[in-house]
Amino acid sequence: MEFSEFELDDRLLKVVEENGYKKPTIVQQEVIPSAMSGFDILADAPTGTGKTAAFVLPCLQHLIDFSNKRHSLCRILMLTPTRELAMQVHEQVKSFSRYLPRVTSCTVIGGVDHEDQLPELSQKTDIVIATPGRLIEYLKKKLFDIKGVEILILDEADRMLDMGFYDDVMQISKMASRREQTFLFSATLEGGLLKKFANEVLKNPVEIHVDSPRSEKKKITQYKIYADDLSHKIELLKYLLKSEKINKTVVFIKTRERLQELVSELDSAGLVFAYLRGEMDQDKRLQALERFTNNDVKILLATDVAARGIDVADITHVINFDMPRSADIYVHRIGRTGRAGRKGVAINLVEAHDVPMLGKIERYTGEKITLRVIDGLKAKNKLADFSKKKRKPEDRKEVKKDEKTPHKKDRVRSQKNKGKPNFAEKRLRKNSQVAGE
Ligand code: AMP
């Protein structure tokens, strides 16, 4: 299937081409036509499957098709669990709308001064990307209004629920009750709470199970290498960077002080690399990114904060020099490799104190991370004992719950058409009117 087979505006197709997207991913093939025909969507699409473009493109097409309908403060509302994800989605919205000068977008996220955020919200904005906490704060204080929302998107709904946003999102959904469509994306559609939530917010959705082909699913091979301490990790990193068949690697480090330390270590080891750290001046940041994007350097060192918004398509390796502080940050870090059908490798350098986090990550992703030992650089600590630690009772419960087979609905597409707005037909009518003029 080709992008040109969707009824997308030429300006959107141009961006798709410029972004180097050759073919739509599975989730895009499933979501885009249904979304453009006016259906609600319920999709299990984890990060890395191209889900963002799957909802951003139909939303932009909606704004193009119904460009006169511009009287509400916010026409499309995208909710994400974290501000990092909100910013990434905003980057994609800006990128895809770069030839649509009238389309406006902004974020409503925590950690940003109210004085910086509120003025934007007093103006009409086509697309608002928000985290539930900050948005609900403004809605309760009547500083913002979402009554006119036409499309509501819930991205990574499972994480939103995990983070305790059930009530907030339900309230937001009720406030935007006049909407025409709702899209819910989640890494998994299992679990009673998610099902209840989906039933409440969606109307006769098209259910999309992205039974991803191997090319889009298990494409990131994950390894762990045990390390005794910081200096051992530095030795391991130097070894990996020199010996791995590395085309493009991002190395994640937890603080900028530590990053600075690594910069001098790797420098004296004769390695060529670029780095990004927080509070770097914009010119230097852009220069570093450009060197990495253009393959002038194959290694990029970065902290999580500094790496926000990086979207380089062909990263082959992610090395977690320091393990992240949560499982979802892990998923985001490794999601920078193995993008859209390509293969990727994630290598974790694990110290004793990282072992519990590693367990959390394995439970969160449902994937085992393979142990790798490097001759001559084997850890002396007996880390394996930590990993065999007894599971806590609540973890055991969690496993039981996940084992339940989800209830699957086999839906007949034509039945769903009943009572749904038919945007495809509206568009056709509009186009033939334009053509007849
Ligand atoms: P997402 O699942 O939305 O986080 O997307 C993962 C990555 O895949 C992003 O870097 C996108 O730029 C990239 N991507 C999305 N759709 C395509 C496509 N059709 N072809 C190639 N890359 C894509």
- Structure confidence by residue, pLDDT tens digits, 7-55: 899 999 999 999 888 889 889 999 999 999 999 999 988 777 889 999 9
336 C-beta closer than 6 A to ligand 1: no
Cβ pair 139, 146 in contact under 8 A: yes
What mean pLDDT is predicted for residues 191-218? 76
52 C-beta closer than 6 A to ligand 1: yes
Q: How far is the CA of 169 from the centre of ligand 1 (A)?
A: 26
Residue 64 burial by Cβ neighbours in a 10 Å radius (0-12, 13-18, 19+): middle
The pLDDT, as a whole number, for residue 403 is: 37
Q: How far is the CA of 336 from the centre of ligand 1 (A)?
A: 10
Q: How far is the CA of 292 from the centre of ligand 1 (A)?
A: 19
CB atoms within 10 A of CB 227: 26
Closest CA to 334 of 294, 362, 354: 362
Looking at ligand 1, which atom is closest to the CA of residue 336? 10
Query: pLDDT confidence of 424, banded at 50, 70, 90?
Result: low
What mean pLDDT is predicted for residues 228-253? 91
56 C-beta closer than 6 A to ligand 1: no
Closest CA to 62 of 426, 434, 435: 426
Residue 57, pLDDT above cutoff 90: yes
The pLDDT, as a whole number, for residue 9 is: 95
219 C-beta closer than 6 A to ligand 1: no
The pLDDT, as a whole number, for residue 161 is: 86
Query: pLDDT confidence of 311, banded at 50, 70, 90?
Result: low
The pLDDT, as a whole number, for residue 72 is: 84
Q: How far is the CA of 234 from the centre of ligand 1 (A)?
A: 32
3-state SS record for 41-76: EEEECCCCCCHHHHHHHHHHHHHHHCCCCCCCCEEE
Cβ pair 227, 233 in contact under 8 A: yes
Distances (CA, A) of 197 to 126, 190, 398: 26, 11, 19
pLDDT in tens, 247-281: 899 999 999 889 999 999 999 999 999 998 877 77
47 C-beta closer than 6 A to ligand 1: yes
51 C-beta closer than 6 A to ligand 1: yes
Q: How far is the CA of 97 from the centre of ligand 1 (A)?
A: 16
3-state secondary structure of 313: coil
Cβ pair 330, 283 in contact under 8 A: no
Query: Candidates 3, 17, 52: which one to mutate for ligand 1, based on the most atoms within 8 Å of Cβ?
Result: 52
Query: pLDDT confidence of 164, banded at 50, 70, 90?
Result: confident
256 C-beta closer than 6 A to ligand 1: no
Mean per-residue pLDDT of the chain: 83
Query: pLDDT confidence of 385, banded at 50, 70, 90?
Result: very low
